[in-house]
Chain A
Amino acid sequence: MAVLDRVIVGEMQGSGDYLSTISTAADNAFDAGAVVIAANGNNGPNASTVNAPGSAHRVIAIGAFDVQTQAQYANQSRGPTPDNRFKPDVQTPNNTETASTGCPFGVQCAMSDTAFRSFGGTSGATPYGAGAAALLRNWLRGTSFSIDPGQVYAHMILSGQQPYPFNNISGAGPLRLPTDGFAWWGKVSVRDGQTIEIPVSVSGSPNRFDAALWWPESAWQFLFITVEQHNDVDLSIIDPGGTTRASSISIPSVFERARVSGSIASGTWKVRIRGFNVPASPQTVYWAAAAHRQ
């Protein structure tokens, strides 16, 4: 466990679930203003094997692919969580060379300034996710002292390269921070059946328009009863002509991500957020959008 500014990096492979003590602590850290990035775990390929606190409600869990081959890390834990959310949230590379003790895995020995070792597992990928989160947080907060961590999470999902539909192997996909363009972000409160349209003015010659949502849900345990409420919020991208160009309508997810590729016309685009099924309304939803070149 390490703390990078207000980004907490969890390399731990806890065996509890999303209601365990460590998961609750991670959720509380988010509520206190921290971005929490955790390894998805190395218990795959069987389903529902995500470790704590990666499985927590208010944590971005990091899956892994090989840095050289781009192949899926076979042992990566798979979602869903027990309450059916997709995990991991995004993926970053592992098997990169890092400074280490140079000891074989599982063997304790003195630190070295010269030894190198390939850092595998989702633990080897998580620092890249945390580094990206720290960069995003610093950029998003600008000259402010702090920023709501949910805003960083929405940008992490936005930076995943897997638009809807999602799966429990890659989530929102491999992480790649957007460059060479413009980004917009914010936070809204969505009620059941409500539609909110957020206009963004696009100019220049971008070839991608991406949008993403992330929202924090909760669960409580009272005696032996678990109380949890899932809210289904949908996302669409509307072009200046009023045409829906992309949608993300996952039912079990707590994030959505949509993409329009090709020629992006200048004008006013809209990010449409719809409370499709929000029984525990209102739900706070963080959104992010980017028009950029890739």
Chain B
Amino acid sequence: MIPFRVGKRAAAALILAAACSSPECSNASTPNGRSERRWTAVFEKETWYRDRTEAEQVFTGVLVRRTSPRGPGARLGLTYALQVGTGELPIYAARVEQSFERYVGQTITVRGKVVDFSAAEGSGKELWVGGLSASPMSP
């Protein structure tokens, strides 16, 4: 799997997703008639998520559990990671673990923002997920 950056098709899907008001909603068919995508909202309605200036991107990868380093400064909310290619991106999932747990070991697609705390807070890059979809991104 490789990271998939927002393009016209994905942007259209994002607009449709934003138009849905329910936490779980099914998009209409994408413009080119490809398969429907069902997004589950995670943090997309949270003010702190919307206020982040990082661009929202779409990633497809395998969801795995991870263990944060313990001790002072520990950030225990990074309980999952998305394996994309040979890389692994920690996912911030504090208080929303149930949204991810059933997909462990599966390939999922997420819309989210990569937030880099390396300089300011020392905890590295992590993925804040606006919404997730259980079905992999269409090729």
Instruction: Give the B-binding residues of A (Cβ under 8 A).
Output: 11, 13, 15, 39, 41-49, 51, 66, 73-75, 77, 95, 105-106, 118-121, 123-124
B contact residues, range: 20 to 34
Instruction: State A124–B74 Cα separation when bound (angstroms).
Output: 11
Given contacts A48-B95, A51-B76, A75-B75, 15 further A-B contacts (CB under 8 A): A42-B76, A43-B77, A43-B94, A46-B48, A46-B77, A46-B94, A49-B95, A74-B120, A105-B69, A106-B71, A119-B73, A120-B121, A120-B122, A120-B123, A121-B75
Interchain CB contact under 8 A, A121 and B73: yes
Q: What's the nearest-Cβ distance from chain A to residue B103, in Å?
A: 19
Q: Are A42 and B95 in contact (CB under 8 A)?
A: no
| Cβ contact within 8 Å between A75 and B96 | no
Most B-side CB within 10 Å, residue of A11, A41, A121, A124: A121
Minimum CB–CB distance from A97 to chain B (whole Å) comes to: 13
In the bound assembly, the distance between CA atoms of A106 and B74 in angstroms comes to 8
On chain B, the residues within 8 Å of A39 by CB distance are: 72
A contact face: mostly helix, strand, loop, or mixed: loop
CA distance A48 to B95 in the complex (A): 8
* Bound CA–CA A95/B123 (angstroms): 12
B117 touches A75 (CB 8 A): yes
For the complex, give the distance between the alpha carbons of A45 and B93 in Å: 10
Q: Is the CB of B72 within 8 A of A121?
A: yes
A39 to B75, CA, bound (A): 12
Please measure, in the bound complex, the distance between the C-alpha atom of A46 and the C-alpha atom of B77, giving whole angstroms.
10
Contacts of A120 in B (CB 8 A): 73, 121-123
Taking CB as reference atom, which chain B residue is nearest A15?
A: B76
Give A123 to B46 CA distance when docked, in angstroms. 26
Query: Is B120 a contact of A66 with CB atoms below 8 Å?
Result: yes
